[in-house]
């Protein structure tokens, strides 16, 4: 049985999400495409401008969803509730040894409510948790974009998969995005590390301005493997897998029950309010 997302994604919203994702990807990759001296530019100075660029994107997505009937006041209320819950869950892990309790609910909510809802929830969850934990810094816009992709990706998973197969699929997805999140969050600062020349058998792992893209990507892959993959990223993957496996069925059922009762995106007609004999 195919399950439809509670908040449908219209053509206008899909276009905005695609453009936003492309812009977000360039936000991470631009140092690899142009020559940048590590000393000449720091993300600590450009992060506020990136953040200012993300906010209008969120507003446009929400407006596009609302204009197409996908997100109404009830969906916005659910968005606020889930953002608050995620913000409260994050300090429980605090990222210690990679234990992150913020992503499993994001995956489950994106699965139930759809890619547009998941994209916005990823951004608002990270922003709210950063305010709650005093985690506002130059890394925040990049965390928001990565989390938005996680929520959107969960909403784009095949809808025909249900039952135990659905939980297994979400577990695999949770493990995958745990490593992707670590990969991208390393990429946002790696080109701007200065005075770090750690040799290994095939050279160095620092960014080389003007070097070919594949050459720099090779250095970055080694940097990520040595610094975070076996530790932080694996801890995050285990947390996601265990939380989705243990709590996933109950949370999915609760969210779907709430979406059915709220009838997201359904506009009551005049005949619905007329009592029938």
Q: Residue 176 maps to which CATH number?
A: 1.10.1760.20
- Is 270 domain-assigned? no
- Is 5 domain-assigned? no
**Residue 200 pLDDT:** 54
**Residue 174 pLDDT:** 96
**Residue 101 pLDDT:** 84
**Residue 1 pLDDT:** 56
Q: What global pTM score does this model have?
A: 0.81
Tens of pLDDT along the chain (277 residues)?
566 676 677 777 788 788 888 888 888 887 777 766 655 445 545 555 565 566 666 666 666 665 665 667 788 888 899 999 988 887 776 556 567 888 999 999 999 998 888 988 998 898 888 888 767 777 888 888 899 999 999 999 998 999 999 999 999 999 999 999 999 988 888 877 755 555 555 557 777 777 788 888 888 888 888 888 877 889 899 999 999 999 999 999 999 998 888 665 444 443 444 444 4
DSSP-based three-state secondary structure for 200:
strand
- Is 276 domain-assigned? no
**Residue 271 pLDDT:** 41
Helix, strand, coil percentages in the chain from 3-state DSSP, rounded to 5: 70, 0, 25
Give which of 37, 28, 2 is closest to 163, Cα–Cα. 2
According to DSSP, the residues that pair with 203 across neighbouring strands are: 200
DSSP-based three-state secondary structure for 234:
helix
Could you give the C-alpha distances from 93 to 85, 133, 179, 246, in angstroms and in order?
Answer: 14, 12, 17, 17
Q: Which residues contact 193 (CB under 8 A, 6 or more apart)?
A: 38, 206, 207
- Is 3 domain-assigned? no
Q: Which residues contact 83 (CB under 8 A, 6 or more apart)?
A: 121, 124, 125, 128
Give which of 98, 112, 109, 90 is closest to 148, Cα–Cα. 109
Task: Evaluate whether 72 touches 131 at the Cβ level (below 8 Å).
Answer: no
Q: Where are the beta strands (DSSP E) in the chain?
A: 199-200, 203-204
- Is 272 domain-assigned? no
Question: How far, rounded to the nearest angstrom, does the alpha carbon of residue 171 sit from its chain's CA centroid?
Answer: 16
Number of domains the chain contains: 1
CA separation for the pair 247, 253 (Å, rounded):
10
Look up the domain containing 160 and give its range: 11-262
In degrees rounded to 5, what are phi and psi of residue 207?
-70, 135
Place of tokens 């076996």: 230
């Amino acid at each position: 049985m195919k399950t439809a997302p509670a908040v449908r994604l219209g053509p206008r919203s899909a276009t905005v999400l695609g453009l936003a994702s492309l812009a977000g990807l360039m936000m991470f990759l631009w140092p690899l495409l142009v020559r940048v001296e590590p000393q000449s530019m720091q993300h600590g100075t450009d992060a506020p401008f990136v953040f200012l660029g993300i906010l209008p994107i969120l507003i446009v997505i929400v407006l596009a969803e609302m204009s197409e009937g996908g997100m109404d006041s009830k969906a916005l209320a659910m968005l606020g509730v889930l953002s608050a819950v995620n913000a409260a869950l994050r300090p429980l892990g605090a990222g210690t040894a990679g234990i992150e309790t913020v992503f499993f609910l994001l995956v489950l909510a994106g699965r139930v409510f759809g890619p547009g809802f998941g994209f916005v929830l990823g951004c608002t969850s990270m922003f709210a948790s950063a305010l709650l934990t005093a985690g506002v810094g130059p890394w925040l816009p990049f965390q928001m974009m990565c989390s938005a992709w996680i929520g959107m990706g969960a909403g784009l998973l095949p809808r025909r998969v249900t039952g135990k197969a659905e939980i297994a699929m979400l577990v695999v997805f949770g493990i995958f995005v745990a490593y992707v999140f670590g990969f991208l969050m390393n990429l946002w600062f790696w080109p701007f590390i200065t005075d770090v020349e750690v040799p290994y058998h095939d050279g160095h792992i620092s960014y080389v301005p003007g070097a070919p893209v594949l050459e720099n990507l090779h250095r970055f892959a080694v940097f990520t493997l040595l610094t975070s993959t076996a530790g932080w990223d694996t801890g995050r993957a285990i947390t996601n897998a265990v939380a989705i496996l243990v709590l996933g069925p109950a949370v999915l059922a609760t969210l779907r029950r709430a979406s059915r009762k709220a009838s997201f995106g359904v506009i009551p007609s005049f005949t619905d309010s007329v009592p029938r004999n």
